[in-house]
Structure formats: structure tokens, C-alpha cells
Amino acid sequence: MSKFGSPVAAATDGAAEASGPAPRMFIKSFGCQMNVYDSQRMADVAIGEGYRETERIEDADLVILNTCHIRERASEKVFSELGKIRELKEARATAGLSTTLVVAGCVAQAEGAEIRRRQPAVDIVVGPQSYHRLPSLLRAERGVETEFPPESKFDHLPPSTPAAVRARGVSAFVTVQEGCDKFCSFCVVPYTRGAEASRPAADILAEIGALARAGAREFTLIGQNVNAYHGRSESGGVARLADLLAAAARVPGVLRLRYSTSHPLDMSEDLIRAHAENEKLAPHLHLPVQSGSDRILAVMNRRHGVRGYLEIVARVREARPDIAFSSDFIVGFPGETDADFEATLALAREVEFASAYAFKYSPRPGTPAADAAAQVDIATKERRLATLQQLLEAQRQAFNSATVGRRFAVIFDKPGRRPGQLIGRTPYMQSVHADVDASRMGELTEIEITGVKPNSLAGRVVTQPARRSREVA
């Protein structure tokens, strides 16, 4: 038993602070933005149980690893991390301190009780749709909870404390949709996150309002397939993503909106129009394409071809001429030939992405593509990855260089390395640092880009008053 008392004692005592320090928790998040959001909400649950956060894992009575299963490397990282935490747990036990070790997220969902067999130091395994049940698991100090529960976790999570809301910062993520019904043949998400489900618009807008009152200004609405969003509208009908973005734009304090990640098939007419009409929507769209070969797109079960993708890009560009695109690519998908890969390079050249991620295909157990006979050898995957990354990096640098001399409304959200410096983001998601008064944190500040560094831009404040992002040349 920890000298800080068990979670049960902290939760039921009600006088944990008076009788001794509260137990401490440490949460480490792997993978996507949705996991970052889930980690924040798991922290809310643990705070409700009497914990407070620590930045030092050595001091933690409760350690939660929020895991990612999207590629093999991401899952394996979790097990090497668990090995290190086991040693820590043993060292703490020698000092008379107990540690509850929780594995949450998509590896938890996919592997379930198997995780405890591979690493017996793990006490609790909880999937991404069931972490609202953490309190009973923490009280029992053991358990595996990976069923998809009938109730929505969002209806059972405790409200965030004012401090936790403030800690989500100037740029906040808000989950609006979860799960996926698309079943791309390479992807584990439909199995680990479950069927597509959208939160009611009123709940999302209330969360955005609370975050905005606490100082958040830039909001990214997130979901595995966010543009399939179709939640209950405030009037009882169906709200689509464009409706939700329009309502979010009206929330006092909201300065900029983004959404991620989108499937090309769900780029509906109203959403494309939102890029022309919603002044708070940033001119930047992450639209994964995965491959530039129609044949590979078909076996990936993406349900669109190259021409369909390019048409969407053209329509969004027509609606919002200054839009920039980013994307995801997979190389070495089973059966991918040199000609298929050349087609991917051709598509990337045609679109000219502002930035993009490229991944080697990783067979995921239980997905159809993992059983395909024509797996591509690792050397070919690596060669194609290097070639594609080189092209995408050149495009990123060209895009960044072209911003020198341009002016953007930047939202600064953190202090820079030097005193007097702040770091923020342009509407295009580029990190920019400039000498700016700290009072400008969370404001739209007009910045002229003066230089390009490998991973960021340098800028200077323009003296005239800030204009809205879309009016900035």
C-alpha cells in the first residue's frame, strides 16, 4: 500500500488533503490527438478519485499508459515502456510504496488480458470506450474492461475541474466523433475504437464554451473520421460537421477552428462550402489519400479513386483558394508495384502538399490486408518510404519558404526558448516564433514571416492592428 493511501482511501476519505498528501498520477500518451484528448479526460476521472498530477513518473502512485495500436512499432513501444515501469514499480515496492499500473487505449482494446500475461506488472487494462469505468477498476485495484459498453463514456465522465480546463491551453482538441465504419483493409481503428458514434452538438458546444471561458482560442474538432460527424443538433435534428463548425464559430472567444481527420468520401458539399463561408475555419485541410494508385486504393477499400480525390482537392481550392493540404500515405501495401508507387509520387507532385506523413505498411492482426499473400519486402518498403519522404519534405520546405514576406494572423500559445519570445501557429499549422509581448498569448497577432528554419518559421510583429486570419494576404 502506498504511503499516500490507496485510491479508495483518497476517494472515500474526502479529507485526503487534510490527512496527508493526495496520491499522484502520471499519464503518458502515445499516438494520435484523440489519445491526447482521452488522456486529459482520464486525468479528470482520476482527479475525481482524489489524485493529482505529477510530472515525475517515479513519484506516481498511479501510472496510466494510453496506447496506440495503429502500427506494429507503436504497440511494441508500449511493451518496452512497460518493462521499464515494472522496474520502477519494484523499486517503489522496496521503499514500501505501491503503484497501480494501467494500460489504456487501443493496445488495451486489441490485446485485452493478454497484456497482463506478457507483463504481469500491469494491474488494469481499459479500452478507449470504457475509461469512464476507471473508478471501480481503481477501487478493485485490478481488472480488464475492454467490452464496448452500451452507454457513452461522455455521459459518465466527471466534469473537468477549472484547473484541468485551463491546462488544456490556448489550442484545445475536442473529440466530436469516435470510431469508424469504413473498414479500410489495413486499419485497426474499426476494431479498437468500435463503430462510428457522434456526440450531441449541445455537449460539444458546452465543452468548447467552457474551454473558451478558460482561455482556449483555437479549437481542433477531432474524430477518427471527423467529417462523417452526424450528432444530435440543438433543435433535435441532425447536425453535420459544417453545422457544428458554424455553431462553434459563434461561441464567444473562439478565434480559429480546425478539424481532423477526414475521409475524402465524407467531404460533402456543405463542408466544402464551409471553407468558403466560415471565417474562423483555418485554410488548412488534412485529407489522407494513402495511395495514388487506383488499383491499390481499391484493395485498401478506400472507396474512391485518384480522380475522385483530385476533384475534391479542386473543389475545396475553388471554395477557398488559399487552402493548403496535408495528407497521409502508406507505402508497400500488399501487392504495390513500382508502377503503383510511381502513381503515388505523381499524385503528390500534382497536389503539392504543405506537409504530409508517409508510413511503411504495417500488417495489423485481424485486418484483411495482413493476410494478403503479396506482402512487400522490407527493403522495398524502406526505399519507397525514403523516396516519398524526400519529395514530401521538398514540398514542405517549398511551402514554408513561400511564406517569407507574407503576413499571417498567428495565435501564440506557449513561451519560446528566449525570454520575450512566444511560439504560435500560422493558419497553416506552421510553428512560428517571434518576439511578442506575453499579453498577446491567445490573441490573433499579425506577424510578418522573416525566415525559415528546418521545423519552424521566424516572424516579427506588424504594428497595425491584427486582422482576421482569412483577410491576411
Interaction site with ligand SF4 (CB under 6 A): 180, 182-184, 187, 189-190, 224-225, 263
Q: Which residue, 328 or 342, is less far from ligand SAM as judged by CB? A: 328
Instruction: Tell me which H or E stretch contains 41.
Output: helix 33-48
Q: What's the min distance (Å) between Cβ of 413 and ligand SAM?
A: 24
Strand-strand pairing, 444-452 and 421-425: unpaired
- DSSP β-bridge partners for residue 286: 326
Q: What's the min distance (Å) between Cβ of 36 and ligand SF4?
A: 17
Cell of 163: 484547473
Q: Which residue, 116 or 284, is less far from ligand SAM as judged by CB? A: 284
Nearest alpha carbon to residue 287 among 194, 342, 229, 357: 357
Q: Which residue, 50 or 332, is less far from ligand SF4 as judged by CB? A: 332
Rounded to whole angstroms, the Cα distance separating 277 from 298 reads 33
Q: What's the min distance (Å) between Cβ of 34 and ligand SAM?
A: 8
Cell of 42: 482520464
Quickly tell me which residue has 472515500 as its cell: 12
Nearest alpha carbon to residue 337 among 285, 374, 367: 374
Rounded to whole angstroms, the Cα distance separating 72 from 328 reads 17
470 and 319 in contact (C-beta within 8 Å)?
A: no
Q: What's the min distance (Å) between Cβ of 184 and ligand SF4?
A: 3
173 Cβ neighbours under 8 A, 6+ residues apart: 33, 34, 36, 37, 219, 220, 222
* Contacted by 190, from ligand SAM, ligand SF4, none: CB < 5 to 8 Å by type: ligand SF4
Q: Which residue, 21 or 366, is less far from ligand SAM as judged by CB? A: 366
Q: Which residue, 176 or 432, is less far from ligand SAM as judged by CB? A: 176
* Contacted by 410, from ligand SF4, ligand SAM, none: CB < 5 to 8 Å by type: none
* Contacted by 220, from ligand SAM, ligand SF4, none: CB < 5 to 8 Å by type: none
Q: What's the min distance (Å) between Cβ of 95 and ligand SAM?
A: 40
Rounded to whole angstroms, the Cα distance separating 426 from 440 reads 14
* Contacted by 333, from ligand SF4, ligand SAM, none: CB < 5 to 8 Å by type: none
Q: Which residue, 184 or 447, is less far from ligand SAM as judged by CB? A: 184
Q: Which residue, 10 or 74, is less far from ligand SF4 as judged by CB? A: 74
Q: Which residues bind ligand SAM (CB under 6 A)?
A: 32, 70-71, 186-187, 189, 224-225, 261, 263, 288, 290, 328, 330, 359, 361-362, 364
Rounded to whole angstroms, the Cα distance separating 456 from 422 reads 12
Q: What's the min distance (Å) between Cβ of 445 and ligand SAM?
A: 32
